[in-house]
Amino acid sequence: MVTFKSLFRLLVPGGMRLIWSLTGAVLYSSLVCYIDSHAVPSAQIFNASAALSISVVFGLLLIFRNNSAYERWWEGRKLWGQLVNDSRNLAIKLKCTVEPIDRVDLIIASNLMSSFAESLKTHLRLERSGHRLTQLGISDLGQHVPIAIAQRLYRLIAILRQREKISDWERLQLDTHAKALMDICGACERIVKSPISASYKLLLWFGLILNIGCLPWLLAPVFHWLVPLIVLVSGYFLFGLEMLAEEVERPFDDLPNDLPLDAICLTINTSMIEILENEYGT
């Protein structure tokens, strides 16, 4: 169900930052209109070609900025889609390959794989969560929890091999998907720990402010007091795109334009229960 709060967060990326930026732009453009009407005509200060050149240049920079941010979001989406697939494949092969397998081992495997996705989510958000960690034997939340869970999953596979419930070839088949879990973790960490250059973003903000600063002087002689409305619409898209890019470039945060990690974790948890803990399919 779409609530007013969720709709507001979708339509106003950046929240109050965008609102305050637009408020400042409208007040500034109103001041320019007053000056143009009562003091120095703005047409004598700026010309159309200069303002158009500035708009084109920063329009191209915004396109590059949003493309760079979207690439990070898209890569994160592919990684978490791969996590869903590898978790399901590992669960199916574990259920169908190991004969006979104790129900206790199946429940342990289900908890481990579900907890891995949950712990990876909280790890990428720089949070700490005790979700299922106590029953998994992980008491130190200061450690790298996804690594600790992956170690226990590898240990479970090794124990199954020691009991001769799987062959070396079957162990290699399981290892392929178990290895993918840490590959996904490392790729997600690379996205989090290698942000877009702060200098580039700072220069782009200076350019956006310069563009909004020049626009009212150009438009005031023609549109007069309609200029604040025009600046409001223009600023909404310019500042809104930049703030949207700031959200999208961090795809694992808990923001409306980021990846729905909670829903993905729920999907993995449901799949593990259906594959490993339910009786059908045995």
pLDDT at residue 278, as a whole number: 73
Please tell me the total number of residues recorded for the chain in this structure. 282
Per-residue confidence (pLDDT) for residue 137, from 0 to 100:
60
Is residue 167 helix, strand or coil?
coil
Contact call for residues 64 and 244 (beta carbons, < 8 A): no
- The Cα 236–Cα 51 span in angstroms is 18
Question: 217-252, pLDDT tens digit by residue?
Answer: 877 777 778 888 888 888 888 888 888 888 888 899
Report whether the peptide linkage leading into residue 13 is cis, meaning its omega lies within 30 degrees of zero: no
Report pTM: 0.79
pLDDT, one tens digit per residue, over 189-201 is 999 988 877 777 7
Q: Is the Cβ–Cβ distance between 258 and 251 less than 8 Å? A: yes
137: left (phi over 0), alpha (psi -120 to 50) or beta: left
Predicted confidence band of residue 140 (pLDDT cuts 50, 70, 90): low
The whole-number pLDDT of residue 210 equals 80
In contact, 149 and 167? CB cutoff 8 Å: no
Whose tokens are 């001769």? That residue is: 164
Q: Is the pLDDT of residue 60 over 50?
A: yes
